[in-house]
């Protein structure tokens, strides 16, 4: 199984598991019997191969199933998620859902690679925290024009985003706490793909409100 995954992808997952557990590279080096933190850095950067016995040690020590490191569709460590969630959603629940959503996105990426789909990258909002509110409004208006949206942009927004920006929009079951707190939407950034997730159980008016995710993903 280890041979089927690139050293780089496994390294991403080792780093993600280590950081989530609050371990330093020095501590992990000691666990694995390595000389120094540089050996761990090489492992996390894909320059060094993870051995089967090391994988078992990592799994036990960092509290991760072997599947976390070996799942062909996982995006742990290489994906950046941004969530639109109620404040009451526990961090552990959000982390668990992120792993599950990552598998959907990893499968989508694999399917797109099979179709040799290429992102046209026709437009980018190019907004950062340094931009002013007025600049954000101007870029949003430009986006409406570029996508040929109607005076009511939400009518065709999702279709236009998928077609013209090549950003898939997935309507999925997210998570809801017993108190009613939920995840409304999310974005996922990979090096070669951006994906928007929308809670399909939201009321219709909110399901099609994807503007926050577009501002993050585009």
107: in domain:
yes
Q: State the average pLDDT over residues 145-167.
A: 73
- Which pLDDT value is given to residue 133? 76
> Sign (positive/negative) of CA torsion 92, 94, 100, 102?
negative
Residue ending a domain, choose from 70, 95, 129: 70
What's the structural domain count of the chain?
A: 2
Chain mean pLDDT for the chain: 82
Counting Cα atoms < 13 Å in the Cβ hemisphere of 140 gives 17
Q: pLDDT category, 188, cuts 50, 70, 90?
A: very high
CB under 8 Å to 14, separation ≥6 — which residues? 43, 44, 50, 58, 69, 77
Give one word for 86, left, alpha or beta, with left for phi > 0 and alpha for psi -120 to 50.
beta
The answer on 184 and 103 residing in a single domain is yes
- Which pLDDT value is given to residue 25? 96
* Token pair of 32 as six digits: 């694995």
Q: Length of the chain, please?
A: 218
The answer on 118 and 12 residing in a single domain is no
Q: State the average pLDDT over residues 32-53.
A: 93
Q: State the average pLDDT over residues 104-109.
A: 93
75: in domain:
no
Q: Which residues of 12-40 are buried (b: 16+ CB within 10 A; e: fewer)?
A: bbbbbbbeeeebebeebbebbebeeeebb
Contact between 175 and 203 under an 8 Å Cβ cutoff? The reply is no
Q: pLDDT category, 216, cuts 50, 70, 90?
A: low
- Which pLDDT value is given to residue 81? 92
The answer on 194 and 86 residing in a single domain is yes
The one-character DSSP state at 177 is -
Residue 111 has pLDDT above 50, yes or no: yes
Question: Percent of the chain scored above 90 by pLDDT?
Answer: 42
14: in domain:
yes
Q: State the average pLDDT over residues 167-186.
A: 90
The answer on 143 and 86 residing in a single domain is yes
The answer on 118 and 13 residing in a single domain is no
- Which pLDDT value is given to residue 192? 82
Cα–Cα distance, 168 to 194 (Å, whole number)? 7
Cα–Cα distance, 165 to 120 (Å, whole number)? 7
> Lowest-confidence range among 6-10, 48-52, 129-133?
129-133
* Token pair of 115 as six digits: 């179709």
Residue ending a domain, choose from 48, 70, 92: 70
Of the candidates 105, 124, 117, 115, which has an alpha carbon nearest to the alpha carbon of residue 169? 105
Residue 98 has pLDDT above 50, yes or no: yes
The answer on 151 and 58 residing in a single domain is no
Q: State the average pLDDT over residues 8-21.
A: 93
Full residue range of the structural domain in which residue 28 is found: 2-70
CB under 8 Å to 149, separation ≥6 — which residues? 155, 156, 157, 160
- Which pLDDT value is given to residue 156? 73
């Amino acid at each position: 199984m280890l041979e089927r995954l690139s050293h780089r992808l496994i390294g991403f997952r080792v780093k993600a598991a280590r950081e989530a557990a609050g371990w330093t590279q020095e501590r992990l080096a000691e666990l694995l019997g390595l000389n120094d933190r540089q050996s761990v850095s090489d492992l996390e950067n894909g320059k060094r191969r993870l051995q089967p016995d090391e994988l078992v040690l990592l799994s036990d020590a960092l509290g991760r199933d072997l599947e976390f490191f070996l799942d062909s569709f996982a995006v742990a460590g290489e994906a950046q998620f941004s969530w639109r969630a109620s404040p009451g959603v526990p961090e552990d629940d959000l982390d668990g859902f992120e792993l599950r959503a990552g598998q959907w996105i990893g499968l989508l990426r694999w399917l797109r690679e099979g179709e040799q789909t290429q992102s046209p990258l026709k437009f980018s909002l190019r907004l950062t925290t340094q931009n002013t509110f007025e600049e954000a409004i101007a870029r949003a208006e430009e986006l409406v024009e570029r996508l040929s949206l109607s005076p009511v942009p939400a009518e065709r927004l999702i279709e236009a985003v998928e077609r013209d920006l090549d950003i898939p929009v997935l309507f999925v079951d997210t998570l809801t706490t017993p108190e009613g707190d939920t995840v409304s939407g999310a974005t996922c950034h990979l090096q070669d793909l951006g994906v928007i997730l929308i809670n399909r159980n939201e009321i219709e008016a909110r399901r099609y409100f994807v503007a926050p995710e577009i501002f993050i993903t585009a």
